[in-house]
Amino acid sequence: MVLKLNKVQKIILIFLILTSAGSWLLLSRQSDAGNNNVMMRAMMLYDPLAISLFTASWTVGMAAMMFPAITPMALLYNRLIGGGDNTTQRQKQTDENLMSEEKPKYNNKKSVSLKLTLFVTCYLVVWALTGVALLLGWSIPMNSLLDGNGKQQQLVDTIFGVVLILSGLYQFSPLKTKCLGYCESPMSFFMRRWRNGIWGAVRMGAYHGLYCLGCCWPYFLLMVALGWMNLLWMGLFAAIIFGEKIWSRYGIWVARITGTGFVITGLFTMVGIITLQNNVTVNNMQGSSSSSGSGISSENIQDSKSNDSNMKGMSFITVSHDSNESHLTI
């Protein structure tokens, strides 16, 4: 379905693109060492302020990564609740059949704006809560490694390998296929989940966030593991997500090719060919050994700023050979 945009829809499109671009710019100006310190405090000390800062940063990242992919959904929702002079007669008839109770409100511009705002906001709220859940959930296995054990790196490799393999296998699951189907076909989503009124906008925004979560949670779990706020990982996963959602009918192949790459990388990690680390994990392990198994102290976390100031990214890949190691810093 080709949708001819009216003036309001063009404004929505420009707003979403500019918001995404502005979010990318804001993220690029943040200090890697500062992000590392915030994430360490959130994971190790469960500091409410650090968790709040991480959540705010995560939400900005969601706007940067996800707004381009949800643009077709937002534009179709605006058309359904606001009508438009550029819609064809067939499209108007489809709209009326889908949500006849909304028809009297077509000319209420304030109502249309409020509903669209609530739809997008509730979508972001789902992802904000997901970020907190992923951060705290990831901290549990990571904190369990801080026991002064000299084999910590081997355990970290195993965990990273398992996460990669599970993320890759999920790309082939029926749930992934179902959720992706609703994300890449906005009309199918609204035909199944349509609700009228203000409360309907809230519910549909949350539903869309949940379907999107069903599509994309492996990418963001990996981002927490590999180092949140690393622009290279963010850009890579944002491109994959965009390809999945926008490339109708073939988006599932983008997901499956990506899943295959995850599984292969996970197997290489588990057998020691590749070592995936992020600065948070490295500093946590260093802090553990200096505190004799009692965990990382506030001083260790504060000192990490100076340790990370010379590192340009939050994660790096080490490809191990028999007697040498080559480091690729990302």
| Mean pLDDT of the 152-174 span | 88
Q: Residue 107 CB: number of other CB atoms within 10 A?
A: 9
Q: Ranked by mean pLDDT, which of 1-10, 178-187, 309-318 comes out on top?
A: 178-187
Rounded to an integer, what distance in angstroms lies between the CA atom of residue 58 and that of residue 225? 14
pLDDT of residue 21: 93
DSSP 274: E
| % of the chain residues with pLDDT over 70 | 69
How large is the angle between the packed helices 32-40 and 279-290, nearest 10 degrees? Answer: 60
Tell me how far the alpha carbon of residue 34 is from its chain's centroid.
Answer: 20
pLDDT of residue 113: 87
Contacts of 223 (CB under 8 A, 6+ apart): 230, 233, 234, 237
Q: Model confidence over 226-274: pLDDT tens digits?
A: 766 778 888 999 999 999 988 877 889 999 999 999 999 999 988 888 7
Task: Tell me the residue type at 199.
Answer: W
- Picking from 111, 52, 314, the residue whose alpha carbon sits closest to that of residue 329 is 314
Residue 278 pLDDT > 90:
no
Strands 315-320 and 274-278: antiparallel
Measured in degrees and rounded to the nearest 5, phi and psi for residue 325 equal -135, 135
Rounded to an integer, what distance in angstroms lies between the CA atom of residue 127 and that of residue 113? 22
Residues 77 and 116 sit within 8 Å (Cβ to Cβ): yes
pTM: 0.76
Residue 309 pLDDT > 80:
no
Q: Model confidence over 41-80: pLDDT tens digits?
A: 888 888 889 889 889 989 999 999 999 989 999 999 998 8
